[in-house]
Amino acid sequence: MFVRNAWYVIALSEEVTREPLKRTALGEDIVLFRKKDDSIAVLDDRCAHRAYPLSEGRIVGDNIQCGYHGFEYNCAGVCVRVPAQARIPERALVKSYPVVESHRWVWVWMGDPALAETTEVPDTHWMTDPAWDRVTHERVFECSADLIHDNLLDLTHEGFLHESTIGDEAVYENGVTVEVDGNTVSVDRWMPECHPSPLFEKATGMTRVDRWHTTVFQLPSLHVIHAGVVEVGGKREDGHLLRVLNAITPITENTAWYFYAFCRDFAVGDEAMNELLTESLGGVLTEDSDALALQQVKMECRPSNLPDVLIAQDAGVAKARRMMKQLLSAEAKAAAAVPEKVAAP
């Protein structure tokens, strides 16, 4: 159901403290907490004794203590104390997960830990670069992660769903160019000699521009939208630039975390601009969330013989869907090739 051998955002840095934080990712409940050195540990949210959630316990030094019978586990998931007896059962273990904190986001690896060591976390440096400012949001969407991926790869919906903020007819009147590089799909749309979107007109004061946005989807979890406006005939690098980060983490088959950051290289430090963007883009996310929740309901009751009708603007969607299936198939084959462990007599 999910590609597991990948980094997924699970929390904002400021959310992870010395108090246990419960999260669900890829169908598994996990607990996050900070150690005394400020690094982060992630464990399965289930005590080995009676399956009580560790997130209901407390942090003791660098260990987490179950709130039911006091079993304590270190950051590797090994039980190091059983208050009721001196002997610690060898099977008193909980799963631990690789974790990386990078540019204000906390990333977790839910698959083979050995592969995490050789896989870099995606680049989101705009989140902390002093030359850029940003506003952030975090939501739970009541739809599958796949529907969010489709939504981000086909931005023609902006001209209808978000017409009061970031969309207008220029979005759907101009086609896209799609490129594939490894596990990355890029969908580029160039919109020459047009009005900026309503929100961009407020933000920049410009009334006639060349516009663009390029969605770069790093399968299976991160979309970076490179977007902006420039005076007609200008170069992209000379315009007002945006990097819109969209980190999508499945919770269950039909729900997903949506971590969002709208980063800009203009009006840096302008709090009025931050307030405008926070409110306006929060509204955009709500529109997306509401629309995709309705879409999820209709998808679930749709007859199996009624597939999607794709058009030219869906070229990126079609390629990404095929690539996601390939990733899932490759992981399934790799898992099937691992010999089944036989318990010792």
Instruction: Tell me the residue ranges of DSSP E strands in the chain.
Output: 7-12, 21-25, 28-34, 40-44, 58-60, 63-65, 72-73, 79-81, 99-102, 105-109, 133-141, 177-181, 184-194, 209-218, 222-231, 240-252, 255-264
pLDDT (tens digit, 9 = 90+) per residue, 43-71?
Answer: 999 999 999 999 999 999 999 999 999 99
Residue 305 pLDDT: 87
The CATH number of the domain holding residue 68 is 2.102.10.10
Which of 99, 116, 133 is a domain's end point?
Answer: 116
pLDDT value at 222 more than 50: yes
Question: Is residue 136 located within the same domain as residue 89?
Answer: no
Which of 81, 116, 151 is a domain's end point?
Answer: 116
Question: Is residue 129 located within the same domain as residue 94?
Answer: no
pLDDT (tens digit, 9 = 90+) per residue, 169-199?
Answer: 999 999 999 999 999 999 999 999 999 999 9
Residue 20 pLDDT: 98
Instruction: List beta partners, residue 58.
Output: 65
Question: Is residue 147 located within the same domain as residue 19?
Answer: no
CA distances from 104 to 100, 108, 133 (A): 10, 13, 13
Closest CA to 173 of 161, 155, 185: 155
Mean pLDDT to the nearest integer, 133-157: 97
Question: Is residue 50 located within the same domain as residue 167?
Answer: no
Question: Is residue 85 located within the same domain as residue 147?
Answer: no
Alpha-carbon span 57 to 90, nearest angstrom: 22
145: its two tokens:
């992660």
The answer to whether residue 335 sits within a structural domain is: no
Domain hosting 202: range is: 125-328
The answer to whether residue 77 sits within a structural domain is: yes
The answer to whether residue 336 sits within a structural domain is: no
Grade residue 343 by pLDDT with cuts at 50, 70 and 90: very low
Mean pLDDT to the nearest integer, 297-310: 90
Mean pLDDT to the nearest integer, 273-288: 96
pLDDT value at 259 more than 80: yes
Question: Is residue 148 located within the same domain as residue 48?
Answer: no
The answer to whether residue 262 sits within a structural domain is: yes
The answer to whether residue 340 sits within a structural domain is: no
Closest CA to 139 of 243, 292, 286, 320: 286
Residue 338 pLDDT: 72
Question: Is residue 149 located within the same domain as residue 97?
Answer: no
Alpha-carbon span 62 to 38, nearest angstrom: 10
The answer to whether residue 334 sits within a structural domain is: no
Number of domains in the chain: 2
pLDDT value at 345 more than 80: no
Average pLDDT, the chain: 95
Mean pLDDT to the nearest integer, 302-309: 89
Question: Is residue 86 located within the same domain as residue 143?
Answer: no
Question: Is residue 108 located within the same domain as residue 170?
Answer: no
The CATH number of the domain holding residue 274 is 3.90.380.10
Closest CA to 265 of 283, 240, 284, 301: 240
User: Position 206: which residue type?
Assistant: M
The answer to whether residue 214 sits within a structural domain is: yes
Question: Is residue 77 located within the same domain as residue 167?
Answer: no
The answer to whether residue 66 sits within a structural domain is: yes
Question: Is residue 167 located within the same domain as residue 110?
Answer: no
Question: Is residue 306 located within the same domain as residue 197?
Answer: yes
Grade residue 341 by pLDDT with cuts at 50, 70 and 90: low
* Helix (H) and strand (E) counts in the chain: 7, 17
Which of 116, 136, 164 is a domain's end point?
Answer: 116
